[in-house]
Amino acid sequence: MGRCQGLLVKPGNPKGIRTLADLARPDVRFVNRQRGAGTRVLLDYHLRQAGVDPAAVQGYQAEEYTHLAVAAAVASGRADCGLGVMAAARALGLDFIPLFNERYDLAIPCQHLPGGPSGGLLAPLFELMHDAEFRRAVQTLDGYDVSEMGRIVVKCSGNNTY
Q: What is the pLDDT of residue 157?
A: 67
Last residue of a domain, one of 74, 102, 130: 102
Q: What is the pLDDT of residue 42?
A: 96
In this prediction the pTM is 0.80
Based on the structure, what is the number of domains in the chain?
2
Q: What is the pLDDT of residue 79?
A: 98
- The answer for residues whose C-beta is within 8 angstroms of residue 50's C-beta and 6 or more apart is 19, 20, 21
Residue 127 belongs to domain spanning: 105-162
Q: How confident is the model at residue 57 (pLDDT cuts 50, 70, 90)?
A: very high
Clarify whether residues 27 and 89 are in a common domain. yes
Q: Give the number of C-alpha atoms closer than 13 A to the C-alpha of residue 152, restricted to the C-beta side.
A: 13
Torsion sign (Cα): 143, 48, 37, 113: positive
Last residue of a domain, one of 102, 124, 150: 102
pLDDT surpasses 50 at 73? yes
Phi, psi of 97 (to 5 degrees): -110, 100
Residues 13/22, Cβ–Cβ less than 8 Å: no
Last residue of a domain, one of 61, 82, 102: 102
pLDDT in tens, 87-97: 999 999 999 99
